[in-house]
Amino acid sequence: MPTLEGVLETVLYVDDFERARAFYEGLFAIAPVYSDLRMCAYDIGGRSMLLLFRRGESLHPVRMPAGVIPPHDGSGPHHIAFSIAADELQNWEARLGAFDVAIEGRTNWPRGGTSIYFRDPDGHLLELATPGLWPGH
């Protein structure tokens, strides 16, 4: 049976593209590796990509020189989790405070990991999780 190697892309659909870019680029100190009027791509830890799409801008096929990307879109608040080192949790809490981002929740997991939860400007629930949340992570 073929195997999976990981999740390559995570997509969030945003209403205000410039506001979302400013939030992610500022809070996480990341720069896009690709950007156009429809979407923006960020390398996260050298292991995956975070893609921000303007909501409603991908409802039609995108014709590329080497093929076609089928339509996609999403609505409502989504959830994604970023992995962080355990010894960085307090630094992240301080950074969120410095950016006036409220922490909505905190969970101490049975395996020993800790998660903190907050929202982006579009209402998506973001999580920063230390090792121990899931087996092997």
> Assign residue 6 a region: left if phi > 0, alpha if psi is -120 to 50, beta otherwise?
left
- Asked if residue 42 has pLDDT above 90, the reply is yes
Pairing of strands 125-129, 67-69: unpaired
pLDDT tens-digit series, residues 79-116: 999 999 999 999 999 999 999 999 999 999 999 999 99
Pairing of strands 67-69, 39-44: unpaired
Domains in the chain: ranges and CATH: 1-57 (3.30.720.120), 77-137 (3.10.180.10)
DSSP summary character for residue 59: S
* Position 90, amino acid: Q
- Asked if residue 51 has pLDDT above 90, the reply is yes
pLDDT on residue 5: 86
